[in-house]
Amino acid sequence: MRTVYLDNNATTRVDPLVLEEMLPFFSERYGNPSSMHSFGGEVGKEMTLARDRVAGLLGCDPGEIIFTSCGTESDNTAIRSALEANPDKKHIITTKVEHPAVLNLAKNLVKKGYHLTMLGVDSEGSLDLEELKASIRDDTAIISVMWANNETGTLFPIREIAEIAKSRGVLFHTDAVQAVGKIPMNLSKLPVDFLAISGHKLHAPKGVGALYVKKSTPFRPFMIGGHQERGRRAGTEAVPGIIALGKACELAQNNIAEENESVRFLRDRLESGILNSIPNSRLNGHPTERLPNTVNISFKFIEGEAILLLLNEHGICASSGSACTSGSLEPSHVLRAMGVPFTFAHGSIRFSLSRFNTRDEIDFVIAKLPPIIERLRSMSPYSE
């Protein structure tokens, strides 16, 4: 059975060119980059190249890049650093639609005495910047707003948010895990203090990420120990992953135009094919200000998990916007924040594409999905 993989916001395949570049660092080139001998020193030079490649994609100085294990570590490091650098400030601002790496950390910090403001979103998942301005207090330590939502793909106005934060003397962090490599960035021209990325979202392996820290931003390390990463992140570097992340960033930079043309074309074809052929379906997220690879659609009166199970029988991989696990009947926190009607919220499916998808795969999904929805609705006691 063929596999049609449309779950790239969950994880991506490792690009063959990335795999080829990282493999020698498991065997032939296994030196420790912190060693004094040339065998390790040569590995250190390759790490420098990887750092340059990450910086090239982000439009920043290589010295502003810290390698981490994942996006979650990067998010945690940034937020905790901001709080530690400003011990008298106990207020955090974020949104109701953040990834758990930010949202659950913020909620955990409330238990330790911090104050939290969670900004709402409108029906398209967009922020009200006036609400943001009104939420900033004298004791606000950090504002954390994701660049692109992982469920709907909705893009946030990062420049405007960062400028608001800067004008009030507040540090700004963005979880850009879903956005990096999909839309152009130039951090040298943005007042962003911290930015988190994750390798496995842009065709590098799992287990490697990076944190951008602007040169002028006060920083307190999360990992304490050795001198690695110029004392900013202790621990022997995961060299193969770092090499892979560097190559993936180079390829992403070279493929930005394709991401925003070819991948967007396939996404739009899938979106229109579904919405035009299936009644009582609706798009979740902003219609235009959205990642070029992401479409989230809800189907009235049916459960997303049931749709996924039947898609899986055809080898189609997607994900549900519903958190109906372990007996919970609560839909996605993102869709709830957007005010998606309950009858739609449970039946949401996210399709997320990559440059490895084809038109034939998209047409295959468009052909298979309508009978699945019709079958499930015929069994639903609530369908019209």
A 10 A CB-CB count for 379 gives 9
Are 57 and 203 spatial neighbours (Cβ–Cβ below 8 Å)?
Answer: no
Alpha helices in the chain (DSSP H): 16-22, 38-58, 71-85, 100-110, 129-135, 158-167, 239-254, 256-258, 264-277, 304-312, 333-338, 342-345, 359-379
* Residue 133 CB contacts under 8 Å (≥ 6 apart), including other chains: 164
Are 116 and 90 spatial neighbours (Cβ–Cβ below 8 Å)?
Answer: no
Token pair for 170: 């507040």
Residue 208 burial (CB < 10 Å; 0-12/13-18/19+)?
buried
Sign of the Cα pseudo-torsion (315, 317, 320, 321, in order) = negative
Task: Please state, in angstroms and rounded to a whole number, the distance separating the CA atoms of residues 149 and 383.
Answer: 30
Catalytic position from the list 60, 70, 317, 324: 324
Residue 38 sits at φ, ψ, to 5 deg, of -70, -25
Q: One-letter amino acid identity for 183?
A: I
Q: What is the residue whose two structure tokens read 């002028």?
A: 216
Is 324 tagged catalytic? yes
Are 259 and 355 spatial neighbours (Cβ–Cβ below 8 Å)?
Answer: yes
Distances in Å between the Cα of 373 and the Cα atoms of 161, 166, 275, 349, 358 are: 40, 48, 12, 12, 23
DSSP secondary structure of 79-111? HHHHHHH-TT--EEEEETT--HHHHHHHHHHHT
Regarding beta strands 348-352 and 319-320, do their DSSP bridges make them parallel or antiparallel, or are they unpaired? Answer: antiparallel
Q: What is the residue whose two structure tokens read 């850009």?
A: 176
Regarding beta strands 209-213 and 65-68, do their DSSP bridges make them parallel or antiparallel, or are they unpaired? Answer: antiparallel
Q: Which residues are catalytic?
A: 324
